[in-house]
Each structure stands twice: as structure tokens, then as C-alpha cells.
Structure 1
Amino acid sequence: MPADISDQTLDFLLARAGLDLTPAQKAELKSVYAGIAAMAERVHKPRGIMAEPAHAYLFNEEDL
């Protein structure tokens, strides 16, 4: 994800989500976008079977 977001892109995403924000709220959201994008990159990664160890009975070394 890019570190910044254009006003047009932000408006599109907000409209798609059904959100109607004030200009101040949009400015604040735009100022923290880089951090949100970084979090999304960390979250959206494939996870091995050990992500839910209570449901795993057999696993290999690469699952650790």
C-alpha cells in the first residue's frame, strides 16, 4: 500500500463504505493513513496451522 492517499481515493473509499465525514475528520484520517496501511500489510499475511494451535493435532516444523 502506498504511504499516502489522494483526496479522490479517500473520498471514493469513504463513499464505498457509506461514511460521511467532516473535512476535519477526513484530514485526521488522511494523516494516519500510513500507519493504517502498515497495520493492514502486517495483518493480511498467510498464517500457518500454528495460528490456531488448539485446533491443530499434527503439525510440521515449518508450521511453527
Structure 2
Amino acid sequence: MANPKAKMSKSRRDKRRAQFNARTKPVTTVNCPNCGEPTLPHRACRHCGHYRGRAVTGKTANG
């Protein structure tokens, strides 16, 4: 029977498993409450720069 030549480290094993999850799960987006643009959850909005009701980057609502 086939046996591994050496032990596979946890990080190497997890990197392989992460590729499977990245390909199968769709990207989740939410609408920014300030400007309405779709953005990633728990991230500042790329369009207006707001996060949780505050301006966290130097961008304005006009771009």
C-alpha cells in the first residue's frame, strides 16, 4: 500500500484544504449602509471609505 514518505505539516495540510474551500464557497457581500455599494463584510467600503458609520479612510461619498 502507498504510504507517505514524510509527515505533512499542519500548515501544508491546511493550505491544501483552503484551496478547496476557496473554489467552492461563493463570495459574500453586503450593501454599505452609507452609500449602498456592495462591499465585503467587516471591511471598510471601497467606494465611500465608511465602516460602522464612521469615515475611516480619506475618501468622500463623491469618490
**Same fold, judged at TM 0.5 (above):** no
TM-score by length of 1: 0.25
Whose relative contact order is higher, 1 or 2, with alpha carbons under 8 Å and at least 6 apart?
A: 1
Could you say which structure has the higher strand fraction? 2
